[in-house]
Amino acid sequence: MKCSCCQKELIRNLTLRELFFSTSLRCYHCEKQFTKIDQKTACPGCGRGSTPKLCQDCHIWQQKLGFVLNNKSLYQYDEGFRQWIKAYKFTGDYRLRGAFVTELEQLLKIYRTYLICPLPLSKERFEQRGFNQVSGCLELTKVSFAPLLKRKELSPQSEKTRAERLLMEQPFLLAVTSEKIRNQKVLLVDDVYTTGRTLFHGAELLYKNGAETVKSLTFAR
């Protein structure tokens, strides 16, 4: 059996439980690579660890937009996670997508009544990378998910820089009819929660189209 993260042969002895129930196994080295966020002591708005009350950033979002995302994240965005995402997403080692499938599946169990939607990449980015890094991980879980959003093609004629535009403008369009969204609960999934801006854009659009609740889940925060 191979480590689902680094792909090296596992040299430790597996427990019976691991043999029969685990879909992802990590070697001793990779097990230490990720720092789990304890959901009991995470910000209820953005999911950052060690602050069980709504954090300052979330207060600002709450004031600005009138809602927070109730985001949950599996891991801290630390050096270990950064190394994994660098190899998986930026170097493009698709085999690494199974690194935490068991943990992801476990966390997704609380969203059984939700439509699950990975944040889409731009066409350009998708063609460069060859895969959507979030869908890659979701495909290994038993949950079904669907693209409810797609990226707008950005108009080249604007005085603002590309980076500015990305921050300000709504980057998404619905990929389905609004009937599919109306009165539904939606879970947006992304790889990293940084400022939350992109997730909030997605949530705003879904709320505009009648979604009942929009929450988010990311692999790291």
**Total residues at interface with Zn ion (CB under 5 A):** 10
Q: Which residues contact 63 (CB under 8 A, 6 or more apart)?
A: none
| Residue 218: DSSP 8-state | E
Nearer to Zn ion by C-beta: 45 or 118?
Answer: 45
Q: Which residues contact 180 (CB under 8 A, 6 or more apart)?
A: 115, 148
Q: Residues 34, 82: contact at Cβ < 8 Å?
A: no
Q: Considering the complex, state which of residue 6 and residue 87 has its C-beta at the smaller distance from Zn ion.
A: 6
Nearest to 189 by CA among 151, 215, 167: 215
Residue placing its CB nearer to Zn ion in the complex, 56 or 183: 56
Torsion, Cα of 76, 77, 82, 87 (10° steps): 70
Pick the stretch among 51-59, 92-100, 153-161, 211-219 that binds Zn ion (CB under 5 A): 51-59
CB neighbours of 96 closer than 8 A, spacing ≥ 6? Answer: 5, 6, 7, 84, 87, 88
**Single residue of 30, 101, 187, 214 touching Zn ion by CB under 5 A:** 30
Does position 55 interact with Zn ion (CB under 5 A)? The reply is yes
CB of 60 to Zn ion, least distance (A): 9
Report DSSP state, residue 116: E
Residue 10 in the binding site for Zn ion (CB under 5 A):
no
- Report the residue from 3, 108, 119, 186 that binds Zn ion according to the rule CB under 5 A: 3
* CB 104, min distance to Zn ion, A: 17
Q: Identify the residue among 25, 37, 42, 46 touching Zn ion (CB under 5 A).
A: 46
Shortest Å distance, C-beta 37 to Zn ion? 12
Residues that bind Zn ion (CB under 5 A): 3, 5-6, 27, 30, 43, 45-46, 55, 58
